[in-house]
Chain A
Amino acid sequence: DIVMTQTPLSLSVTPGQPASISCKSSQSLLHGDGKTHLYWYLQKPGQAPQLLIYEVSNRFSGVPDRFSGSVSGTDFTLKISRVEAEDVGVYYCMQTTQLPLTFGGGTKVEIK
Chain B
Amino acid sequence: QVQLVQSGAEVKKPGSSVKVSCKASGGSFRTFDFSWVRQAPGQGLEWMGRIIPSLGVTNYAPKFQDRVTFTADTSTRTAYMELNSLTSDDTAVYYCARDAPSGGLPFDYWGQGTLVTVSS
Please say whether chains A and B are actual partners in one complex: yes
Q: Whose C-beta in chain B lies nearest to the C-beta of A39?
A: B106
- Closest Cβ of chain A to B66, distance in Å, is 14
Nearest-neighbor residue (CB-CB) of B96 within chain A: A48
Counting CB contacts under 8 A, is B95 at the interface? yes
Number of A positions contacting B (CB below 8 A):
24
Q: Is the beta-carbon distance between A48 and B113 smaller than 8 angstroms?
A: yes
Contacts of A41 in B (CB 8 A): 45, 107
List of B residues within 8 angstroms of A48 by Cβ: 95, 110-113
Q: Which residues of A contact B (CB under 8 A)?
A: 1, 33, 37, 39, 41, 43, 48-51, 54, 60, 90, 92, 94, 96, 99-106
Closest to B65 in A: A100
Total CB contacts across the A-B interface at under 8 A = 56
* Given A50-B110, A54-B105; A103-B47 close (CB under 8 Å): yes
Is B61 interfacial (CB 8 A cutoff)? yes
A102 to B107, CA, bound (A): 13
Q: CB-CB contacts of B30-60 with A at 8 A, as 1s and 0s?
A: 0000010100000011110110000000010
Q: Is B26 an interface residue (CB 8 A)?
A: no
Q: Count chain B residues whose beta carbon lies closer than 8 angstroms to a beta carbon of A.
A: 23
Pair B112/A103 contact, Cβ less than 8 Å: no
A96 to B103, CA, bound (A): 11
What residues of chain B lie closer than 8 Å to A37, measured between beta carbons? 106
Q: How far is the CA of A105 from the CA of B45 in the complex (A)?
A: 8
Instruction: Check if A49 sits within 8 Å of B59, measured CB to CB.
Output: no
Question: Which B residues lie within 8 Å of A105 (CB)?
Answer: 44
Chain A residues whose C-beta falls within 8 Å of the C-beta of B101 in the assembled complex? 96
Would A60 and B108 count as touching, CB distance under 8 A? yes
- Quick check: is B27 within 8 A (CB to CB) of the other chain? no
B62 touches A103 (CB 8 A): no
B45 touches A51 (CB 8 A): no
CB distance from B69 to the nearest CB of A (A): 17
Chain B residues with Cβ below 8 Å from A90 are: 44
Which of these, A92, A99, A101, contacts B44 with CB under 8 Å? A92
| Closest chain B residue, CB of each to CB of A48 | B110
A102–B45 CA distance with the chains assembled, in angstroms: 9
